[in-house]
Structure 1
Amino acid sequence: MRRSRDCFHGLSVIFLQLEVETGLGRKVKKGTRSIFQRTINDNLKHPNEEIIQQTLEAFRAFAVSYYDSETWVKKVHTLVIEPLMKELESSGNPAIRRGYTLALGNFPRHLIVDQYEAIGDLIMKQIPLEANPADRDAESRRNGVRALIDLCESMGAKNLTDKFIQKAFKSFLLGVEDYATDNRGDVGLWVREAAMDAMKRFIILLAPTGRLAKEMAATMMKGLLRQANEKIDRVREHAGKNLEELLNNESVLSTSCLPYQREMRKILLTNDESRDVEQTLVTNDDDTQCDHESSKPEPTRKTAVNWANPDVTFPLFAQLLHFSDLRTAILAGMVVSMGGLTRYVASASSDAVISFLKKHPEDKDAVAHSILQVMRDNHKVKRMITPALKMLTILISHESFSDLQPGKSTFVGDLILILQNELRGSKDIKKLLAAVPLVVQLIPFEEPARKNAFRIAFGLLLNGFPAVRIQGAEQLVSVVQTYGEDIMPEERVDEVLDLLVDCSWGERLDDVRDTVNQLRDLFGIKPLHKKKKAVPEATKPEVPSHQEKPVSKESIDDEKNTPQQDADVEDDDEADIQD
């Protein structure tokens, strides 16, 4: 039954479009025009996306054909645009949001020239992630992005105010940062893809007219570069194709709007893997606005790059890590690729970055600090922090940053501060488990990094999750066996190993606390002392103190798989890492 209704709606739209297209220039009665508009409005609310798209095509043809005179401007605004805007603003129906948003972005310019900013503002309201999870609809946000760029193109670059350009720009950035998920998976992907297309079209629209600020163009290019380095093949391909189109667009290139456009063309649009990134470096123009009267660009290069193939694209984008203005954006994408669960993507991205750092050791400190900046920008963001911890573990294990000792670089000290902030009070076991090997790998670095790394490691040995304590102990055993007297006095090596191996780290916290304090004492770190929590009088149990609740074996087994909570807190600055 549902399928037959969809067919009926689809056919009604097709017949309407045929009627409009074959009747171009033919006068129709007012009643007929009203019937056409009602049919369009009804089908714009249809839940079937194909029907919405067919309706949109019919609507474009209808608006051009039958709302073609200046006398229709006020009538269309009163009879058509205002009702659409009111219903869109008041309705929580996703189908209405999806269809009406698209429709508002597709009116001919002469009908909306005086109202386009109000229409645009309403469209922009559909793009941010909804505060209430029950109201979230990725298709509506995606359609908001599509409608906004359609509106901009309908108006033309010269007719847009500077304020509107800025607001549209910020809305596209919101779209490319949409990582929302629901039971269908990464639905934010649809919004990001729409935003990538929109940013490309926005640059192409504005650049030739001189309306595009270089900073704005650079920010949008960074958004595309980040997406081109993320873990999903489809997203990387979509971003790569948009970058390729921009880097081959003569009207954009002639304005010198894009950051490092000559270098990116040489690196991304040719297949010469032997070229040195240093040979591509030229100084960018410092003007803040794009020059729409610049000289003609180099001849367009054609490329057959498979942007979805990580083995092809990651080595290309890794070369762009040499350029400071692009580095953080590229690494923000590579973080989720290197630290993700897709093995072939993680392997390809890791190999590319490690290879780049071997060839360009002068960039190691800058790359390391850019990764830390990505972590600061995404403080407590699970989607980014856990992969970043894994990425750093991979790079440090391959000795990519072994030269960045505390005396030469602030990298390790800055990383320890970030780790303390991220682990403080964390109940995210995946993040905690990802942090363990990274913390332990910092121990071979010189002082004061080594002692601080030990302090964090010992804090993790008192974490509420038994799995974190067990892995922490195993990793510490490994590093002590590997480096031994290089990281501690030779006479303490066996004693430290005995303490780590003999303790049952999966038992209750009270059972491991003494061992941790002995370890701390061996490394000259202040032992931890329990500080009793104040128990309000009203909450104290009324049973006699000598009565205790028996503890069953089952309750102990269950406790090993859940974070254990002490009735006491540690009187120490690492206490919040333990819980």
Structure 2
Amino acid sequence: MSLLVSAPIIMQCLEKKHLSESSQAKLRKQGVKLTQRLGLTFLKPRLAAWRYQRGNRSLAANLSASQSATAATPEVEIQELEEDYDIPEEVETVIEYLLVGLKDKETIVRWSAAKGIGRVTGRLPKELADEVVGSVLDCFSFQETDNAWHGGCLALAELGRRGLLLPSRLTDVVPLIVKSLTYEEKRGACSVGSNVRDAACYVCWSFARAYEPKELEPYVTQISSALLITAVFDRNVNCRRAASAAFQENVGRQGTFPHGIDILTAADYFAVGSISNCYLNITVFIASFPEYTEAMIDHLIAMKINHWDSVIRELATKALHNLTPQAADYMATTVLPKLLPMAVGIDLHGRHGAILACAEITHALYKLGLQTNRAVVDMISSECVDALKNIHQKLNDRKQYRGFGGELMRPAVCFLIEKLSLSKMPFKNDPVITGWQWLIDDTIKTLHPGVKDSTVVSMVSALSALCDEFYQAEPGQADLQIQDVLVSQYVEGLKSPKMLIRCGSALALGCLPRFMIHGKVKQILEGLLQMCTVSQNEETFTEARRDAVKAISQVCLKVGVCAHGSPDSALCSENVPEVYGVLLHCMTDYTRDSRGDVGAWVREAAMTSIMDVTLLVAISAPEILLPDLVKRMMCCLAQQAAEKIDRYRAHAGNVFLCLLHSKEPAVPHIPHQEELLRIFPFETTTSLNWSAPSQAFQYITQLLGLPQYQYHTLLGLTVSVGGITESTVHFSSQSLFEYLRGIQENIAALTQFGDTLLSIFRDNLRNDMVSIPFLGMLNQMLANSCFEIFATQENHQFCVDILDLCKEFKKSKVIAKLRISISVFCGLIQFQGEVRKRVLAQLLMLLCHPFPVIRKTTAGQMYEMLLTYDDVIDPEVLDDVMTLLSDANWESDLETVRTHRNQLCDWLKVSQPRKITKNPVPS
């Protein structure tokens, strides 16, 4: 009786508030175990004679044809082998505790309670055990929480596994398990129930091992459909895999699941890991079997197109599109009429998914009709056609395009417009077209920074399809009035002060069909080109410039090339230089903001556009590709292919090789084409991984030996060698130094390299994005003795020029630039003649810099410099100089520091810098 007394005490301890949640859960688990042991002490240690026993459990026998023919097992009436005996009243209390444990909030407690239910029930008489099963089934009420459903599933699995769930109970159990396989409750911005679905899969798995095929045969259709729906449509990958495993177990042990082996090959454990593969591919295969087609479609309509996760809703609508050929009549006569009221309903998620589903199904029916020469309106009822047409107007009348809901409704209706236009719905000259156009234009005007890219894509696609279907006066000829209005409106939008309106207008111009821009090419290109150039200094319009660059190439590709044509109707010799000028200028966009190098978006778009335009011109009118344009283009691509960001370096490298190896058409006037083909043979188009610094830089540095590419290649290498990314710095500098070692004996080549280096330095003296990494690269070159030949000559011009340019940085306020310039000065000390004295003078002036950290850095680096180059000063004063540099407090006040600095000037025989005082202002 001590156990009976201690159990309630333990159960009371579960409510102790001072314990952590994990400690309380462990205590409740121990309480459940103790309660189970208590129950077992009151019952005889025996196995219930009434329990169900399957008998033959051979997988091979289940799958054999002979077994399926003679699978009947004689029914034996089981009688109690022992006399009835009284069950103590305490057992009822124990079972009550265990049933409460099934609803606990912790999984470990529910699992222990389920095992306890199984063990205790196995010692009860048949009637009492059936009452326990009935109490477990009470957990499956929609008034209960997901914890109760989960605990109930675990208990049923335990009872079934032990043979305590008799076949007579399957009629009640199977419908509950089928509901559990799709159980999901929304909680705020997410949902709960994945543990219930996973446990339900475990129940199905255990039933496969527990029952004879003939017992489960009446429920095969329900179980197989529910398991497959979970295996391909569940949001949680663990649930999909659990359902696949349970289906596989049933196919192997039951042998009665329709098309089980075929389905398992397509929906195995690994295949269901990708949710997009499940929705878009596996479902199509499974739906080819009539037993599962309508069940899958009905589940998508009932539970997935109104799902809280937008990804699931979109995948569900795409799945309905793919499933339409399997059940076209069912979609047209049953599904579509069911969806149309949802498309204008109250529930936001259901409305969004229904609109997308209507669009997908309608377009799928249109594509089916093409095979049988039937229009969509012949396949769906006139009521459905009218309902599809009126969706926009009803949403607009209810003002459902506003607010948070509008962010979902606008792209959804734009998607509907696109699909209805592609489906050639008979709405031409109907007032609804004006409403659709208003929605597209209003969406452009109401774009804001938080809008998703999918909204813009939907809007652009809808406009293109709408123009194609409804704005042609004659085939290939635009309605001039509509053309004038739309083109003028979007060109004007390029001048908007709002960045996203510019983006939308640019993309709208880029998506217009050829007949809509014919005769307006000059007006469109002028607007796009102006937006790319005038707003270059406006950092907030980076995305607009990117989209304008994309639109330029789209317009050019649509109108084509005519060498001597009109600039108003084609790309020709008159406007090609201007287009290339803007695209090449965009390849130098290095705008930065809080997000980093956002100009890279513009550069990437410019590289893609210039490749597309170049191949277009090369195939139609290569004579208008001037040598200077091609040279600038290839040099800019070489520069981008040498830079530090892996993604954009890879893109530039691939574009460079594409143009170099293009045969049909061949790009004319590529500088050093033969040398380039030796450096980059055709195999490199597939074998060279430009994203890997270890591969890319050993190729790109070979361009330094080609005069026309040297400047731009070295400019690109500057930010890589002088950058901060370890792998990029290592491999780029390694490749650069290999090249320099190869030209050490070639004075002319080294001199030319030095001149190019100086040109880059002069051109970017005030550009910190280049000058700081340039100093880092120069410091590495000096440390590796790359200019040792120059160091043997007194006052070599290269050294003098470098020193003169570096002196410009002493007035800088940028700590990073000052620190790296100190390192460069210390590296320049290796040069002979007057240069050395001037370098020492610069370093001594930096010892009295206003910034204490610069003074300290200068002293430290001078100390290291004198250790390396001990011939710089007289050996007699070397120890004194080194002691003063190391022991003096260079971060103290300037008067004290200046005294130490002047002492160093005397020892180093350098004139003491004089303090410059400003002339007093005359009264």
Could you tell me which residue of structure 2 aligns to residue 13 of structure 1? 414
CA contact (8 A) 1:142 1:191 kept: yes
CA distance in structure 2 between the aligned counterparts of 1:392 and 1:378, rounded to whole angstroms: 14
Unaligned runs of 5+ in 2: 1-347, 349-402, 563-569
Unaligned runs of 5+ in 1: 272-300, 539-579
Q: Which residue, out of 626, 640, 645, partners 1:227?
A: 640
Could you tell me which residue of structure 2 aligns to residue 86 of structure 1? 492
SS of equivalent residue, structure 2 residue 543: helix
Q: Which residue, out of 179, 190, 213, partners 2:601?
A: 190
SS of equivalent residue, structure 2 residue 464: helix
Could you tell me which residue of structure 2 aligns to residue 574 of structure 1? none
Correspondence 1:118 to 2:523: yes
Offset at residue 264 of structure 1 (A): 2.2
Deviations 1:278-317 (A, max 9, x none): xxxxxxxxxxxxxxxxxxxxxxx75221110000000111
Offset at residue 440 of structure 1 (A): 0.6
Could you tell me which residue of structure 1 aligns to residue 781 of structure 2? 395
CA distance in structure 1 between the aligned counterparts of 2:720 and 2:768, rounded to whole angstroms: 14
TM-score (norm 1): 0.81
Offset at residue 50 of structure 1 (A): 1.7
CA contact (8 A) 1:106 1:154 kept: no
The residue identity in structure 2 corresponding to 1:227 is Q
Q: Which residue, out of 660, 664, 676, partners 1:264?
A: 676
Could you tell me which residue of structure 2 aligns to residue 503 of structure 1? 888
CA distance in structure 1 between the aligned counterparts of 2:637 and 2:718, rounded to whole angstroms: 15
Residues 526, 536 of structure 1: CA spacing in aligned structure 2 closer, same or farther, 3 A cutoff?
same
Could you tell me which residue of structure 2 aligns to residue 155 of structure 1? 559
Could you tell me which residue of structure 2 aligns to residue 274 of structure 1? none
Correspondence 1:199 to 2:615: no
Q: Which residue, out of 22, 31, 44, partners 2:431?
A: 31
Give the number of aligned pairs.
Answer: 503
Larger relative helix fraction: 2
CA contact (8 A) 1:365 1:409 kept: no
CA distance in structure 2 between the aligned counterparts of 1:342 and 1:356, rounded to whole angstroms: 21
Could you tell me which residue of structure 2 aligns to residue 426 of structure 1? 812
Could you tell me which residue of structure 1 aligns to residue 363 of structure 2? none
Q: Which residue, out of 480, 492, 508, partners 1:74?
A: 480
The residue identity in structure 1 corresponding to 2:434 is S
CA contact (8 A) 2:661 2:682 kept: no
* Segment drifting more, 331-340 vs 309-318: 331-340
Could you tell me which residue of structure 2 aligns to residue 544 of structure 1? none
Offset at residue 205 of structure 1 (A): 2.1
1:440-459 correspondence to structure 2 within 5 Å: 440-459=826-845
CA contact (8 A) 1:9 1:43 kept: yes
Could you tell me which residue of structure 1 aligns to residue 767 of structure 2? 381
* Segment drifting more, 123-132 vs 55-64: 123-132
The residue identity in structure 2 corresponding to 1:365 is T
Offset at residue 120 of structure 1 (A): 1.3
SS of equivalent residue, structure 1 residue 337: helix
Offset at residue 438 of structure 1 (A): 0.9
Could you tell me which residue of structure 2 aligns to residue 286 of structure 1? none
Offset at residue 502 of structure 1 (A): 3.6
Deviations 1:487-510 (A, max 9, x none): 233333233323323432111222
TM-score (norm 2): 0.52
Correspondence 1:481 to 2:867: yes
CA contact (8 A) 2:543 2:602 kept: yes
* Segment drifting more, 354-363 vs 67-76: 67-76
Residues 403, 177 of structure 1: CA spacing in aligned structure 2 closer, same or farther, 3 A cutoff?
same
CA contact (8 A) 1:393 1:437 kept: yes
* Segment drifting more, 434-443 vs 15-24: 15-24
Residues 203, 408 of structure 1: CA spacing in aligned structure 2 closer, same or farther, 3 A cutoff?
farther
Residues 100, 531 of structure 1: CA spacing in aligned structure 2 closer, same or farther, 3 A cutoff?
closer
Correspondence 1:324 to 2:707: yes
CA contact (8 A) 1:365 1:404 kept: no
SS of equivalent residue, structure 1 residue 462: coil
The residue identity in structure 1 corresponding to 2:918 is K
Residues 319, 86 of structure 1: CA spacing in aligned structure 2 closer, same or farther, 3 A cutoff?
closer
Correspondence 1:351 to 2:734: yes
Residues 408, 504 of structure 1: CA spacing in aligned structure 2 closer, same or farther, 3 A cutoff?
closer
Q: Which has the higher contact order (CA 8 A, sep 6+)?
A: 1
Could you tell me which residue of structure 1 aligns to residue 652 of structure 2? 239
CA distance in structure 1 between the aligned counterparts of 2:875 and 2:613, rounded to whole angstroms: 64
Offset at residue 87 of structure 1 (A): 3.5
CA distance in structure 1 between the aligned counterparts of 2:650 and 2:695, rounded to whole angstroms: 11
Correspondence 1:101 to 2:488: no
Q: Which residue, out of 770, 782, 798, partners 1:411?
A: 798
CA contact (8 A) 1:225 1:329 kept: yes
CA distance in structure 2 between the aligned counterparts of 1:478 and 1:359, rounded to whole angstroms: 29
Offset at residue 424 of structure 1 (A): 4.3
Offset at residue 27 of structure 1 (A): 7.1
CA contact (8 A) 1:269 1:303 kept: no
Between the aligned residues of both structures, percent identity stands at 26
Offset at residue 416 of structure 1 (A): 0.8
SS of equivalent residue, structure 2 residue 633: helix
SS of equivalent residue, structure 1 residue 126: helix
CA distance in structure 2 between the aligned counterparts of 1:351 and 1:241, rounded to whole angstroms: 23
CA distance in structure 2 between the aligned counterparts of 1:414 and 1:53, rounded to whole angstroms: 53
Correspondence 1:516 to 2:917: no
Offset at residue 243 of structure 1 (A): 1.5
Offset at residue 9 of structure 1 (A): 2.0
Q: Which residue, out of 696, 703, 721, partners 1:338?
A: 721
The residue identity in structure 2 corresponding to 1:233 is D
Residues 99, 330 of structure 1: CA spacing in aligned structure 2 closer, same or farther, 3 A cutoff?
same
Deviations 1:481-529 (A, max 9, x none): 2222x22333332333233234321112221112223333444433222
Residues 224, 117 of structure 1: CA spacing in aligned structure 2 closer, same or farther, 3 A cutoff?
same
CA distance in structure 1 between the aligned counterparts of 2:795 and 2:765, rounded to whole angstroms: 26
* Segment drifting more, 503-512 vs 490-499: 490-499
Residues 531, 387 of structure 1: CA spacing in aligned structure 2 closer, same or farther, 3 A cutoff?
closer
CA distance in structure 2 between the aligned counterparts of 1:382 and 1:394, rounded to whole angstroms: 18
* Segment drifting more, 29-38 vs 165-174: 29-38
CA distance in structure 1 between the aligned counterparts of 2:467 and 2:834, rounded to whole angstroms: 71
Could you tell me which residue of structure 2 aligns to residue 60 of structure 1? 464
Residues 460, 57 of structure 1: CA spacing in aligned structure 2 closer, same or farther, 3 A cutoff?
same
CA distance in structure 2 between the aligned counterparts of 1:88 and 1:22, rounded to whole angstroms: 31
SS of equivalent residue, structure 2 residue 788: coil
Could you tell me which residue of structure 2 aligns to residue 296 of structure 1? none
Deviations 1:413-446 (A, max 9, x none): 111111112x142111110001111111111111
CA distance in structure 1 between the aligned counterparts of 2:532 and 2:589, rounded to whole angstroms: 9
Offset at residue 85 of structure 1 (A): 2.3
CA contact (8 A) 2:795 2:833 kept: no
Residues 152, 315 of structure 1: CA spacing in aligned structure 2 closer, same or farther, 3 A cutoff?
same
Could you tell me which residue of structure 2 aligns to residue 532 of structure 1? 917
CA distance in structure 2 between the aligned counterparts of 1:265 and 1:61, rounded to whole angstroms: 43
Residues 258, 87 of structure 1: CA spacing in aligned structure 2 closer, same or farther, 3 A cutoff?
same
CA contact (8 A) 1:246 1:252 kept: no
CA distance in structure 2 between the aligned counterparts of 1:344 and 1:129, rounded to whole angstroms: 37
The residue identity in structure 1 corresponding to 2:455 is I
CA contact (8 A) 1:153 1:205 kept: yes
SS of equivalent residue, structure 1 residue 36: helix
